[in-house]
Amino acid sequence: MPIQIHDTLTGGKHELTPLRPGQVGLYACGPTVYDLSHLGHARCYVVWDVVVRHLRARGLAVKYVRNFTDVDDKIIKRAGERGEDPVALAARFADEFHRDMDALGCLRPDVEPRVSGHIPEIVALIAALVEKGFAYAPGNGDVYFSVRRFPEYGRLSGRNLDDLLAGARVAPGEAKRDPLDFALWKGAKPGEPRWPSPWGDGRPGWHIECSAMTRKHLGDTFDLHTGGKDLVFPHHTNEIAQSVCACGDGQHAESYARAWLHNGFVEIDDEKMSKSLGNFFTVRQVLERYEAEGLRLFLLGTHYRRDFNFSDTVLSEAERRLGYLYETLEKADRVAAGAAPAPAQGGKVPADGGAAPDGGLVERCRAALDDDFNTPQVLGLLAEAFTAANALCDLKGKKTPEQRERLAAFARDARRLGETRGLLQRAPGETLRALRDRAAGRRGLDTAAVEARLAERQAARKARDFARSDAIRDELLAQGVAIMDGPEGTSWKVL
């Protein structure tokens, strides 16, 4: 079964057919590093991480390139406000970005090019465009791309030039021949970083960097280009125009990236996330309150092409689901090893243990990811398998060797499946305690105080003072803390 992808360029699903058999070149537009990364970054880079992991798991040699935009208006402005060098400020926030993405379990790309390290390549690409007549230097230090020279300009966004023209303006100080034209090179302004060029000192426009970096690290034509859907126009549209005209066939968008994947927006409580609305969250703010793996599970619960809605309620729910997955894994490990299972907590146990964990789980999850990286479907399949495994663990009586083997196989498959999604790789006990402490923190509960009350209850039970032991149990329950007495001692969780 081949891998199917939804390609923005063709507007439909088609088979991924690598340019070079067995190899995939993938480029993701990276962050503009002038501040801490936010939930929108977490969303798209977790998604591309799963895409890369899955393609690799399918035996493809993926070269994953993601840039850092470290020369840009926003960076220059921020650096000016702080009296810092722009490239140094960007380097600092690139390090912060790495910290966040590492915390989210995203693999580092193979190459992470920066604008400041690719100026000669950028200048060479612009020079090629000028030479071929696709770009012009009006003499004020700027260089512009001549949009009307490229017939497929509106193809990626599915809009024609007149529609695009309606929104185009010539800003003061620009010397464009046509309002649609865009800057490839910007003449130096006082206080801005500058590099020499045939058109005078200056710096690159935003779009040209990706064309120069893909060319250097993936070649003139490569397989997959990814990014947020807000980048379709103008950024990706302009990338295509530059690359196709400078080093492609001058005609067809496919002579640059052969397919484009775009992810949806992040909304907060059904509104678009923005600083002005006051509903803006950095990754770090979220990770102060939630486990990174819970956030990751939550992000993968929505198909990458759809917009997704973030709220505390749904994120808490994702953490609860993660807790259930780890509880089940812990239980399956214990039962598979032949130890006595903990008694079931309230739930009814079907006589036959419910559906058995399915041996075809790995294959079905693979098929779901092959179908345009359908992560929500994978999570659904995992949920079914975990429910079945849980029911099997909870079956009364001693497990047969066959049942124990099924649980061992389940735990193995679950961890293997988790690996290609960046989930379920931690020790269950430790993770469950971390999740519990997070939930306690959000409730304003003091973990140490709960533990102290539990110790008092243990002492009361030892002294056979059951009235006192029950009173402590009820008191904790009223605070939302449930106590579980099991063969391995007493544990607690936040309800």
**What is the smallest separation between the CB atom of 438 and Zn ion, expressed in angstroms?**
35
**What is the smallest separation between the CB atom of 320 and Zn ion, expressed in angstroms?**
37
Nearer to Zn ion, 210 or 218 (CB): 210
Measured over all CA atoms, what is the biggest interatomic distance in the chain, rounded to whole angstroms? 92
**What is the smallest separation between the CB atom of 239 and Zn ion, expressed in angstroms?**
6
**What is the smallest separation between the CB atom of 219 and Zn ion, expressed in angstroms?**
16
Told to check if 210 binds Zn ion by CB under 5 A, we report: yes
Part in contact with Zn ion (CB under 5 A); list of ranges 23-31, 179-187, 247-255, 383-391: 23-31
Q: How many chain residues interact with Zn ion (CB under 5 A)? A: 2
Query: What CA–CA distance (Å, rounded) separates 84 from 94?
Result: 15
Of residues 495, 420, 385, the one with CA closest to residue 59: 420
Q: Give me the residue label for tokens 């499946």.
A: 417
Residues listed for the chain: 495
Part in contact with Zn ion (CB under 5 A); list of ranges 40-48, 183-191, 210-218, 351-359: 210-218
Nearer to Zn ion, 49 or 330 (CB): 49
Q: Which long-range contacts (CB under 8 A, 24 or more apart) does 10-17 make?
A: 10/259, 11/158, 13/372, 14/259, 16/223, 16/224, 16/259, 17/258
Told to check if 379 binds Zn ion by CB under 5 A, we report: no
Residue 184 CB neighbours (<10 A) = 30
Nearer to Zn ion, 29 or 122 (CB): 29
**What is the smallest separation between the CB atom of 63 and Zn ion, expressed in angstroms?**
17
Nearer to Zn ion, 183 or 322 (CB): 183
Query: What CA–CA distance (Å, rounded) separates 262 from 264?
Result: 7
Nearer to Zn ion, 156 or 210 (CB): 210
Nearer to Zn ion, 186 or 406 (CB): 186
Nearer to Zn ion, 213 or 329 (CB): 213
Cβ-Cβ contacts under 8 Å for 123 (sequence gap 6 or more): 185, 195, 197, 198
Q: 82 and 127 in contact (C-beta within 8 Å)?
A: no
Residue 119 to residues 122, 188, 199, 419, 479, Cα–Cα distance (Å):
5, 14, 14, 38, 60
**What is the smallest separation between the CB atom of 184 and Zn ion, expressed in angstroms?**
14
Part in contact with Zn ion (CB under 5 A); list of ranges 28-36, 109-117, 154-162, 332-340: 28-36
**What is the smallest separation between the CB atom of 178 and Zn ion, expressed in angstroms?**
23
Applying CB under 5 A, which of residues 29, 75, 208, 391 lies at the interface with Zn ion? 29
Give the x-and-dash track for 135-174 against Zn ion (CB under 5 A): ----------------------------------------
Of residues 421, 451, 338, the one with CA closest to residue 49: 421
By CB neighbour count within 10 A (0-12 exposed, 13-18 middle, 19+ buried), where does 133 fall? exposed
**What is the smallest separation between the CB atom of 440 and Zn ion, expressed in angstroms?**
42
Q: 392 and 357 in contact (C-beta within 8 Å)?
A: yes
Part in contact with Zn ion (CB under 5 A); list of ranges 181-189, 203-211, 329-337, 380-388: 203-211
Nearer to Zn ion, 257 or 273 (CB): 257
To the nearest 10°, report the CA torsion of 114, 117, 121, 124. Answer: 120
Task: Tell me which residues touch Zn ion (CB under 5 A).
Answer: 29, 210
